[in-house]
Structure 1
Amino acid sequence: MKWTAKLIKYKSDTRIAVYFEKDIDLIARIKQIEGARWSQSLIAWHLPDTEENRNRFKITLLNHSLPSGEGVIQIEKFKQFLRSKRYSESTVSTYSDALKSFLVFYREKPIAEITNDDIIIYNNDHILKIKLSASYQNQTVNAIKLFFQTIRDTKIFIDKIHRPKRAKVLPNVLSKEEVKLILDAHSNIKHKTMLSVIYSCGLRCGELLALKPLDIDSKRNIVLLKNSKGKKDRIVPLSPKILELLREYYKTCKPKEFLFEGQTVGKAYDARSLQLILKQALVKTEIKKPVTLHWLRHSYATHLLESGTDLRYIQELLGHNSSKTTETEV
């Protein structure tokens, strides 16, 4: 089995990230490790930093796993740049980790001497050699390009940095019947409403959990999504049926700060708990597919397309900059 593991900072905690091409058996084994979590932003599984897990994934803290002194300084400057541009903390962590891996590879070479050919060598002798995914490679390219845009003294030509060719894979989509089974699986009004709003509005998990009661405009039958991915606001339509469900939920649960709150009043519902709600629905409905919350968003887009909705309109609803991104979801 080809995989690579390294220590990362994730939400202020030290974790062990494990990168590998999708493998059902390895995923099943990792799921059995206590505290294992999947991160969409990292495109990796991550585990608690324990001695047992370090031994399990052969994690060692050797000097050659660190960048040069110059690299450490530049990584910190890069983080400051990203934060000044108001990138999310998850993106700051992902991009700085990717840059660190690149600068560790070239720790004996001055950054000013790194060329475009060195990036190609890194892709071949590191990313491809240990069979990291095209998505991870693309993420690394994004980080490297952005980093060298901020460096004045460089031999890198930004426009000549190439990206991996995108794999054409079918999106993960549920049938309308499967979606109905999932949405009807829970009798708990909060659980049912959260899953229903994600599907019926095509929301990302984070967008749902950031909603506040005032973001629901019942007179215009719309949902206002503020400062979502890419720091963009957008509006999505709200069906009368879902509006009635939201009204019933609001009367029952009476949220204060966020539309969907956890056990602590005024604190947004936990994303991991929401994922667990979906897993419970899959058990109840006996759906064996490895469904994630993002599948509901994929399914929303596909069902709109199947009903004759214009692709450009779907692109606006999903909040995509490019229609190519939308095409991968439908």
Structure 2
Amino acid sequence: MKNTTITLSKVKYQKEVLLIISMPNDCATKEYIKDFNGISWNEALKCFCLPYSRHVTHTLFQYLRNKNYFVDYSALKEDPKQIAPPSQPKRNPVKIREKPQQEILDRISLFRNWMYQKRYSENTIKTYESMLLMFFGFHHTKLVKDIRSRDLEDYNTNYILANGFSHTYQNQTINALKLFYTYNGMDPLLSANLERPKKQSKLPEVLSIDEVKVLLASLTNLKHKTLLSILYACGLRIGETLNIKVRDLDLDRGYTHIKSGKGRKDRYVPLPKRMCSLLRAYIEAYKPHHFLFEGAKGAGYSAVSARQVLKRALRNSKIEKSVTLHTLRHSHATHLLENGTDIRYIQELLGHNSPKTTMIYTHVSSTSLDRIKNPFDDFED
């Protein structure tokens, strides 16, 4: 491997800067490269790549040098070249206008009640019901017993892919159909032949601490500021945040009780002193009765409204990164790791089942990377 050269370069592709890895065509090198978390094969560019960042480049450089590869990084000194995506045939969105047959509608109604009794989350129930209605609406001439695995392939090709829906949507459709058929005592669409879509391996977008400060400082509305602040300060999911009741807060002890988080798991999350002060001011000003964040007529605040708050804050703060509400959770976890917090503690705070889920933050954090000294440190941003 001492004589093997791996070249690093960067390109701008679909509004994202990618780190390109070029290597000799040998199996051992390819397998070693593929084991680096976040690297994937880009079919359009015909190469291995991952989202570019200074920290990721540091880590990859060290990873390659550990196996004595020679790394040519000279191209990284240049600005990334713009690569135009290959032209795609224009797809017209496919709409489903037909309703499933009444027998199927009755079955879906019973299935919905069963999920409710089994204490599935409201989001899961709504999602599965919606996906079943779409699937059987697409195959509106067929009954439940008439569906075959090729019908799922037809739906996947001519509805999901034709509309450009994500692999997550495709995966949820499979989940809904399998559970529905199992509930009805039928073979779940020859489940052995139902292949899951390949999951993308992407590193999460993360804001720096300074960017979070600018984002929150751009908010003048106390309610909006409190909402985005608690998302970041506690690393919460938006669903968990909107489900917080006033009685779930213990501002004297500095904790909030997160009930029925993802996977229906409860946990206690510490509230920073600054967050407690902000919450006291917010509660005094808005006097919420039931939900901490209330919308019209005392109902819970909606995720759509929360996304609008973030959108305005991003516009006012002039942050151009691709940021979602979940980015604040990713940023919280990354900053904890950079401050030296044990990853097992971060796992508990975030409510992750497996430490593998939390480990992704080691690839976007600068923890321990500052101890690495290599020539890339001398590059200009």
- TM-score (ref. length: structure 2): 0.61
**Deviation of 1:160 (Å):** 5.6
Residue number in structure 1 paired with 2:266: 233
Equivalent of 1:218, from 251, 260, 272? Answer: 251
Task: Using the aligned pairs only, state the percent identity.
Answer: 46
**Deviation of 1:227 (Å):** 2.5
Residue number in structure 1 paired with 2:326: 294
Alpha-carbon distance between aligned partners in 2 of 1:105 and 1:267, rounded to the nearest angstrom? 34
Alpha-carbon distance between aligned partners in 2 of 1:215 and 1:199, rounded to the nearest angstrom? 18
Alpha-carbon distance between aligned partners in 1 of 2:103 and 2:331, rounded to the nearest angstrom? 47
Q: Secondary structure in 1 aligned to 2:310?
A: helix
The answer to whether the 8 Å contact 1:176/1:303 transfers is yes
Q: Could you give the per-residue CA deviations for residues 130-154 of structure 1, whole angstroms, max 9, x where no partner exists?
A: 5432111111111111112212243
Q: Secondary structure in 1 aligned to 2:266?
A: strand
Alpha-carbon distance between aligned partners in 2 of 1:119 and 1:174, rounded to the nearest angstrom? 39
**Deviation of 1:71 (Å):** 2.6
Residue number in structure 1 paired with 2:313: 281
Alpha-carbon distance between aligned partners in 1 of 2:332 and 2:173, rounded to the nearest angstrom? 30
Q: Secondary structure in 2 aligned to 1:232?
A: coil
Answering whether residue 140 of structure 2 is matched by residue 127 of structure 1, we say: no
Larger radius of gyration: 2
**Deviation of 1:293 (Å):** 1.8
Residue number in structure 1 paired with 2:115: 82
The answer to whether the 8 Å contact 2:94/2:163 transfers is no
User: Would the alpha carbon gap of residues 303 and 160 (structure 1) be closer, same or farther in structure 2, given more than 3 Å must change?
Assistant: farther
Residue number in structure 1 paired with 2:194: 161
**Deviation of 1:224 (Å):** 0.8
Q: Which has the higher contact order (CA 8 A, sep 6+)?
A: 2
User: Would the alpha carbon gap of residues 308 and 157 (structure 1) be closer, same or farther in structure 2, given more than 3 Å must change?
Assistant: farther
The answer to whether the 8 Å contact 2:94/2:162 transfers is no
Answering whether residue 295 of structure 2 is matched by residue 259 of structure 1, we say: no
* Ranges in structure 1 where 5+ consecutive residues have no aligned partner: 1-22, 25-55
User: Would the alpha carbon gap of residues 68 and 290 (structure 1) be closer, same or farther in structure 2, given more than 3 Å must change?
Assistant: same
Residue number in structure 2 paired with 1:247: 280
User: Would the alpha carbon gap of residues 175 and 87 (structure 1) be closer, same or farther in structure 2, given more than 3 Å must change?
Assistant: same
Alignment of 1:182-221 (within 5 A): 182-221=215-254
Residue number in structure 1 paired with 2:54: none
Alpha-carbon distance between aligned partners in 2 of 1:60 and 1:130, rounded to the nearest angstrom? 11
Aligned length: 273
Q: Secondary structure in 2 aligned to 1:224?
A: strand
Residue number in structure 1 paired with 2:339: 307
**Deviation of 1:262 (Å):** 4.5
* Ranges in structure 2 where 5+ consecutive residues have no aligned partner: 1-13, 16-91, 365-381
Q: Secondary structure in 2 aligned to 1:112?
A: helix
User: Would the alpha carbon gap of residues 324 and 76 (structure 1) be closer, same or farther in structure 2, given more than 3 Å must change?
Assistant: farther
- TM-score (ref. length: structure 1): 0.70
User: Would the alpha carbon gap of residues 118 and 282 (structure 1) be closer, same or farther in structure 2, given more than 3 Å must change?
Assistant: closer
RMSD: 3.2
**Deviation of 1:111 (Å):** 2.9
Residue number in structure 1 paired with 2:9: none
Q: Could you give the per-residue CA deviations for residues 268-309 of structure 1, whole angstroms, max 9, x where no partner exists?
A: 444444333323322322212342222211211222233333
Q: Could you give the per-residue CA deviations for residues 63-94 of structure 1, whole angstroms, max 9, x where no partner exists?
A: xx333443333222222222222334443232
**Deviation of 1:216 (Å):** 1.9
Residue number in structure 2 paired with 1:136: 169
Alpha-carbon distance between aligned partners in 1 of 2:188 and 2:289, rounded to the nearest angstrom? 54
Question: Which range moves more in the overlay, 65-74 or 227-236?
Answer: 65-74
Answering whether residue 345 of structure 2 is matched by residue 317 of structure 1, we say: no
Answering whether residue 139 of structure 2 is matched by residue 101 of structure 1, we say: no
Equivalent of 1:151, from 160, 184, 195? Answer: 184
The answer to whether the 8 Å contact 2:205/2:322 transfers is no
